[in-house]
Amino acid sequence: MPLRAHRVATIVAGIAVLSAAKCGGDSAATPSADNAKASSQPTRAAQVPSQSTQRDPCSWITRAEAQKALGDSVIAEPVRVRSTETVVPQSNGGACQYQLRPQGSMAQSVAIELTPDESGAMQTAFAGMGNVEAELKSGTKEAKRDTLIDGRWDFVSQIPGGLTAARAGRIAVQFVTPIGHDKAGLALAGAMLDHIPDTPFTNDPADPTTPPHVPDPCALVTRAEAEKVLGKLPIAPYQASKNSALVFGSGASCAYYSGKHRALVITPMLRHGAEFFKMMGGVNALVSAKTGGTQAPDTLEGKWDALSIGADGALHALKGDKMLTVQYKTSGATFEETVELIRAAVERL
């Protein structure tokens, strides 16, 4: 595993753990009595079309389609492996390896991994690597608003050594290719993306039918308010697993899915917000220093006590002992538009 790839993966993992820790699990935000009360109510999430995250990464496209995308000889059936960096066969691995025609006596392959429901942490880490190490600066590109890189990607970062990261909405892709095959790797990622239905993901088919969360996080921003920013929503706002767009009937977050795998996610924290906001301020500054992420927005007026940007790009608004987190980097919304949604949400927090 290349050293730089390892450093990026470590930073991404660290941000993911911190993001999960800062607000606790889905059941932590409300008393159990509220969840018991919710059990008799219908779940809106059950009506949301969704697909499982538990899928063989080699099943998105056929070997023939992979052959066409790679423009090279795929000499064996693809193999499911642990990850792009650890290409060890594993029955429940997260990546797929395509063996290519050897270059002389040297074996060659492409390993690729698609991660549904990426919050933006990977993008922050890869973009930050360009800020930390001078030779990486030219390898990072980010699309603005509705413009897309190569007609499909919101973000692409290429790091010397064969590691590439790309993002389309909340679909994150990492792949490792032999030198000179990065464009073919991106074509393979694009072919896989074309086969992913444009619907939200869920970890377990039973998750959408779990009793709804109380209070409803989707009550903080109406569908009409969200559509002013995100455009027409093909799916009504739904409860999602905390800090994600994964469909979950008793989720503590609300996802506003706008199509093309994009979603804005709102997560209220109704207790201990001040404590977590203070703690995460130090953590975010530390991680931002390592990734080159934004440390804090300019001072803005609103009915909040404080507003900050996390290391993963999420916005956090504190009001008393309550905190609101909004993940918008993978939604297409701008910073200014997201702040307007926060103004509305804080009024109802």
Quote the tokens at residue 231. 């455009």
pTM of the model: 0.82
Q: Tell me what pLDDT residue 245 has.
A: 93
Alpha helices by DSSP H, listed for 62-139, are 63-70, 121-132
Q: Is residue 278 part of a domain?
A: yes
What pLDDT sits at residue 131? 44
**pLDDT for res 6:** 47
Q: What is the pLDDT of residue 115?
A: 86
167 and 109 inside one domain: yes
Phi-psi category of 146—alpha, beta or left, where left has phi over 0 and alpha has psi -120 to 50? Answer: alpha
3-class SS of residue 292: coil
List Cβ neighbours of 343 (8 Å cut-off, separation of 6 or more): 302, 303
> How does 43-72 read in b/e, with b if 16+ C-beta sit within 10 Å?
bbbeebebbeeeeebbebbeeeebbebbeb
Query: How does strand 306-309 pair with strand 315-319?
Result: antiparallel
Q: Is residue 9 part of a domain?
A: no
Q: Are residues 120 and 90 in the same domain?
A: yes
Same domain, 95 and 169: yes
Inter-axis angle of helices 3-23 and 121-132, nearest 10: 130
Residue 1 covered by a domain: no
- Residue at which a domain ends, from 150, 166, 194: 194
pLDDT score of 287: 44
Structure tokens given for 200: 């939200």
Asked if residue 212 and residue 342 are part of one domain, the reply reads yes
The CATH number assigned to the domain holding 125 equals: 3.40.1000
Task: Supply the pLDDT for residue 104.
Answer: 87
**pLDDT at residue 312, rounded to an integer:** 73
Q: Which domain holds residue 236?
A: 17-51+200-348
The reply to whether 219 and 182 lie within a common domain is no
Q: Which of 194, 227, 249 is the last residue of a domain?
A: 194
| Blockwise average pLDDT, block size 10, the chain, 349 residues | 46 47 48 46 80 92 94 91 93 95 90 80 62 46 67 83 87 91 92 94 91 87 96 96 93 95 94 84 50 51 85 86 92 91 92
